[in-house]
Amino acid sequence: MLHADRLFSPDPAQREIARALYTQIKDLPLVCPHGHVDPRIFADPAYRFSNPAELLIIPDHYIYRLLYSQGIPLENLGIQRMDGLRDVSRSALISPYPDESFFRRVWQNFAENFYLFRGTPTGIWLADELTNVFNINKKLNADNAQEIYDGIQSRLRSPQFQPRALYEQFNIEVLCTTDAATDKLDSHIAIRESGWSGRILPTFRPDSVVKIDMPGWGENIERLSAISGTTISNYASYLQALENRRAFFKSMGATATDHDAQSALTINLSHQEAESIFQRALRNKPEPGDNQRFTAHMLVEMARMSTEDGLVMQLHSGSYRDHNPLIASRFGRDRGADIPVANEFTRNLKPLLDRFGNHPRLTLILFTLDESTYSSQLAPLAGHYPALRLGPPWWFHDSLNGIHRYFDRVMETAGIYNTVGFNDDTRAFPSIPARHDVWRRAASDWVAGLLVQHIIDEDDAQAMVKALAYDLAKSAYRLE
Amino acid sequence: MLHADRLFSPDPAQREIARALYTQIKDLPLVCPHGHVDPRIFADPAYRFSNPAELLIIPDHYIYRLLYSQGIPLENLGIQRMDGLRDVSRSALISPYPDESFFRRVWQNFAENFYLFRGTPTGIWLADELTNVFNINKKLNADNAQEIYDGIQSRLRSPQFQPRALYEQFNIEVLCTTDAATDKLDSHIAIRESGWSGRILPTFRPDSVVKIDMPGWGENIERLSAISGTTISNYASYLQALENRRAFFKSMGATATDHDAQSALTINLSHQEAESIFQRALRNKPEPGDNQRFTAHMLVEMARMSTEDGLVMQLHSGSYRDHNPLIASRFGRDRGADIPVANEFTRNLKPLLDRFGNHPRLTLILFTLDESTYSSQLAPLAGHYPALRLGPPWWFHDSLNGIHRYFDRVMETAGIYNTVGFNDDTRAFPSIPARHDVWRRAASDWVAGLLVQHIIDEDDAQAMVKALAYDLAKSAYRLE
Amino acid sequence: MLHADRLFSPDPAQREIARALYTQIKDLPLVCPHGHVDPRIFADPAYRFSNPAELLIIPDHYIYRLLYSQGIPLENLGIQRMDGLRDVSRSALISPYPDESFFRRVWQNFAENFYLFRGTPTGIWLADELTNVFNINKKLNADNAQEIYDGIQSRLRSPQFQPRALYEQFNIEVLCTTDAATDKLDSHIAIRESGWSGRILPTFRPDSVVKIDMPGWGENIERLSAISGTTISNYASYLQALENRRAFFKSMGATATDHDAQSALTINLSHQEAESIFQRALRNKPEPGDNQRFTAHMLVEMARMSTEDGLVMQLHSGSYRDHNPLIASRFGRDRGADIPVANEFTRNLKPLLDRFGNHPRLTLILFTLDESTYSSQLAPLAGHYPALRLGPPWWFHDSLNGIHRYFDRVMETAGIYNTVGFNDDTRAFPSIPARHDVWRRAASDWVAGLLVQHIIDEDDAQAMVKALAYDLAKSAYRLE
């Protein structure tokens, strides 16, 4: 079902070179510096995935958003409602759910609409996953849906499909999760204590204690107080608590932090103004603009902390979260209704860069959902500031064409050495090899294109594909 | 003159597949759900086109804008001045104009500058039209201009070049026109009463009664009052009149509405505020912002009406109309001086989507002139909201590269099934087959690229090209 | 080292055509209508370049920005500090610097990091320059750095590497420099008086007397007063002084002016408001917005002067100058820390176009750093207004992919005849042939692509490549 030359240019000369380059890198270990796999699946050595629907469909908003866009209710895809429909997605992490017919119906709905994924990255990943992970050699459709369900299900019961076994089979060298600042990192502690050799590292994500307009911010601050052992009564103790947590994450192996913001705006507030906003937030009496200004200011504070503790800073900006209020109210947050907005970096990042853009200890990795900024702003910024690096194509752009555009628009100005290789950025654990494979094929093909156009020579080409597939991620994220 | 493999990728493998796919779809009937052909040419069974200049140059702002940009006065291209130069363009629709030497001079001017169209879509369409419609097998130039004029002219006199005959020869299945809300649809009535089997359908375009700052808005409202039989004295009766007209259009076969706006801004005004603005407009005493707010509000009202009457809603946003005041004052509106502006959808459409984005009866088809929104905003929106579909590349982007970019930037995230196939969007009737042919070739080539990269299989490929060439337009516009 | 088919498409059919087209144009004389070569190197017939580092690295911010982005201090690359480090860059234009070991260390630093330029345009240009200008047939690396330094150095001592000899060897037909409005044009006078046949023309660049917030503006106005023999006491005498300088530049052969602005904003101020702002500026008491409004207004004034004196107007907008304050304070302005910002043309240029967009004597050439404006704004504007032309891809976009994007996004709507061929825009004199060669190869390949897709025929193709390589630059800049 999967062709050996898939995703390569049709040109025979370029394809032959691409294949040769790909052969050199395809078996390199996978470095996964940014993603959303739940660490609990590795904490319990006996953990098993429940069933195909809970594993492949219900947690994957890439899949259900497209089905929803064609009018298929999320309920029919197994997504849990806030109002009491049973918790199919969460329970999946605890134990197989008893009612198999429910999951079989979800799977059937998916199979009947599988044609919607023609030509999409999800279609590519799923084909790879079914073939290479589950050894299913048929294209999914309405007729064979239950047979394929059975095939996957039977494999999920075998020990070699337990998460730790898959981690090893996938040849993962390191896998970083994303964890709230207030997370106790119990799973990471359990993994470490278990003596298992897999390298699962936390990443410090403070959004829920930084965005003062987020529902539950007050409770999150209380939680942060408790877990850091720091009474947070003012801005100074708030910073101290954050520094405390960063130190704890670092002690648990974290090498990076991660920050989400609708815009890349950064501001240097005076201590006094930061304090005022913080106090208003504690009293739940924000003024207009407080959230935006405080978030923008905290990005600079986080950069400052990175210059001190050496954690690599990631900034993911440009997503309008929970754009569809019906979905948010019925199914909760993060249900595939996040839509990108236009983004600006040159002016917005200046306050941060004025302070730390030349700092030798800072690495700030930028991500964008607005591809028009690649060539005009991000590549020139990364091609100048020592502290800046560009993250790989993100989210909607983590696709074959998205990767092509990234190479074509970024690399000439930034050079590959101001980029950081690949992130799979996924919560769908079994899709990790497929995602890295798309990147490695696309990178091989791009470098082959440079070679066949005589822009680089063979030595360059070999160094470049290895850097893109492996070295850059490892060095940029300080995972050495 | 026309090569059988034109517009296909040069790669032999991809080209061979593209050719095979194209062969399967090239003779499918043409579905034309959006365009600007004047229905009068079909109302009179004996209608004849007057001459090559009036048919091919004078009504086509794609052609004369490029000639004007090189310093050729519009007068020399036959464009009618407001100050009394004879009405060459309009009269063309009534009877052949007697002064042939004038049109021959216009044609000569065009021929002498035909080289300006090298590499442009207009150049591609014209080559196709001259060859396939008029059987002219020479490249137009200064020397053969009059000979070619004669060749076209002689054909225009024959019955097989009458509009109805061409409609059938072109294998058009349905052709939708664009008609003002106040249009009596006389031509459509005449077509229907004539018993002719051609399917010419109106489209409801209310811009001139919605944009309160448009010259003549007051008279248009009076016209709307009269034609709808509704005395429009307030906002409520205004809505009623619009609903009445929509019902009439629907009774005449319309399946869609069409809306132009400089931005995609939508607003939910209170009834009271809408009433206040409307009253100020009636008294011709608008306040600053009234027009923008009212237009934005009316988009939501129109979406609401669509959920009720089932008319598909089209939104064409992003054109700064009549940008060149000299041209507008000398030649009137819509004379090729409309220039795109940057556009925003994620925030602007939210008020409309909050109300109707999940509505099962709404289909809202979005068009853009700002390609940077394809991958970042439009594809993610269409890939989530059940009510949204993306229109094909519009206007300046309805070109070979424009279509390539559309496929590459939209399809991975939206999937092809959230798009609507092709619109020719033309007032140049004889260019319709050429325009569909460019789309069908480009679609075949794009799908061939997916196949040769092993992203899809042959079954997928065949279903996809047929969907892009025929099925999607028919289903999205509810033309079944 | 350099392959004959470099930069062409890998497709054999397209490549063969590209090669044939390229063969027809590769030896056409170089027309260089916009650049930053220092005219002093031609004023002294005995001028010699000092050494490889001073010639190739120190003046080239394309090179040192990328090295700096990887943490290499600018000091180690020979860039002069404001605080007294010796003036390596400027003195280079006067005499070879005695301390050779310093420059050898700079060169070694560069060579050790040469791998950073893999896949970048700088890498392509350097490979071409080293091979074709200096006859170095090895790839630069740490080991051979000093040997290659020796090889270049020995050539620089020979008469055939003096600037005038290189000008002739490069087959340059005309080379325009960029000169401040207050420049006495001594070098241009000296060139003219020397009787040398090389055609070195000045370009009028008034930024330093127009941008009222620029450090030193007051002194620049005094300088303008003195050199124009016009006492500048008010706005009217200021305009008179500018007109006087334009006339002088024109008498020295200038055919164009050049203007930098962060945005393309244009405004028609009343004479009174312009006077008020100008008076405040003279008293050094600007109000907020004065600079922006005055700069925007002066663009219209400059267009007006162009309609009178016939100088072609160039507008380079979209760069945030001196974005990195550390670099600016330590090394001065223009040190590779200029970062693009998003740009808008449709609305911003309207005031200027309303007055002069249809003027038969104005040619306004637009450049952008924001590629998202190519297809959506610039091509439609240039495809309508007789006064507008589009400049070639600028700065970060003057790269192989940048040129591909330019062709693909601009040409279908603007047509090639609203573009102006190529600008090398460089201060690196020996890179001029390499830069034109990249353009000529890319243009040949693009036209070959049109031919192999049967969009144009062979006659068109030959005319188009010649126009792109030679004719358009000459005619648009009125260099005939």
What is the tens place of the pLDDT at every residue in B406-454? 999 999 999 999 999 999 999 999 999 999 999 999 999 999 999 999 9
Which residues 89-118 of chain A have a CB within 8 Å of chain B? 115-118
Q: Looking at CA atoms only, how far is residue B242 from chain C in angstroms?
A: 33
User: Which residue from B11, B353, B375 is facing A10, i.e. has the nearest CB?
Assistant: B11
**Interface contact C14, partner B, CB < 8 A:** yes
CB contact under 8 A, B357 and A324: yes
Residues 165-184 of chain B with CB under 8 A from chain A are none
The three-class DSSP label of residue B384 is coil
User: Each residue's pLDDT tens digit in chain C (480 positions)?
Assistant: 799 999 999 999 999 999 999 999 999 999 999 999 999 999 999 999 999 999 999 989 999 999 999 999 998 898 888 875 544 444 433 334 447 888 999 999 999 999 999 999 999 999 999 999 999 999 999 999 999 999 999 999 999 999 999 999 999 999 999 999 999 999 999 999 999 999 999 999 999 999 999 989 999 999 999 999 999 999 999 999 999 999 999 999 999 999 999 999 999 999 999 999 999 999 999 999 999 999 999 999 999 999 999 999 999 999 999 999 999 999 988 887 999 999 999 999 999 999 999 999 999 999 999 999 999 999 999 999 999 999 999 999 999 999 999 999 999 999 999 999 999 999 999 999 999 999 999 999 999 999 999 999 999 999 999 999 999 999 999 998
Partner A, chain B 363-402, Cβ-Cβ below 8 Å? 372, 375-377, 379-386, 388
B66 to C412: CB separation less than 8 angstroms, yes or no: no
- Give dist(CA C278, CA C268) in Å, integer: 15
The answer to whether A368 and A261 are in contact (CB under 8 A) is no
State the smallest CA–CA distance between residue A104 and chain B in angstroms.
24
Query: Which residue among A13, A383, A463 places its CB closest to the CB of C69?
Result: A383
Provide the shortest C-alpha distance from residue B148 to chain A (in Å). Answer: 41
Task: List C317's β-bridge partners, or say none.
Answer: C261, C368
Nearest-CB residue to B360 (from A2, A3, A71): A71
Q: Which residues from chain A sit within 8 angstroms of residue B360, using beta carbons?
A: 71
| A119·B416 Cβ contact <8 A | yes
Contact B325 C354 (CB under 8 A): yes
Report the pLDDT value the prediction gives residue C85, as an integer from 0 to 100. Answer: 52
Number of CB pairs, chain B paired with chain C, less than 8 A apart: 134
**Which strands form C172-176's sheet, in the order they lie side by side?**
C30-32, C172-176, C200-201
Q: Which of A184, A185, A176 is nearest to A256 (CA)?
A: A176
- Do residue A6 and residue B386 have CB atoms under 8 angstroms apart? no
- Using CB atoms, which chains have 3+ pairs under 8 A with B? A, C
Interface test with B, best of C11, C343, C346, C410 (most B CBs within 10 A): C346
Query: Which residues of chain C lie closer than 8 angstroms to A382, CB-CB?
Result: 69
> Inter-chain contact B396–C377, Cβ cutoff 8 Å?
no
Compare CB distances from B13 to A10, A71, A121 and report the shortest one's residue. A10
Using CA atoms, how far apart are residues C47 and C163, in angstroms rounded to an integer? Answer: 7
Q: Which residues of chain B have pLDDT under 50?
A: 86-98
Contact criterion met (CB below 8 Å) for A320 and B347: yes
Pinpoint the alpha helices (H) of B252-349. 271-282, 290-309, 325-331
Residues B106-121 pLDDT 10s: 999 999 999 999 999 9
Measured between CA atoms, the residue of chain A closest to residue B476 is: A70
How confident is the model at residue A78, as a pLDDT? 87
- Residue C215's identity, in one-letter code, is P
Q: Mark which residues 279-338 of B lie under 8 Å from C by CB.
A: 318, 320, 323-327, 336-337
Find the largest Cα–Cα distance for chain B: 66
Reported ipTM = 0.96
Residues 136-165 of B with CB under 8 A from C: 139
Query: Is the CB of residue A460 less than 8 Å away from at least one CB of chain C?
Result: yes
Q: For residue C371, give the nearest of A11, A350, A375 by CB distance.
A: A375
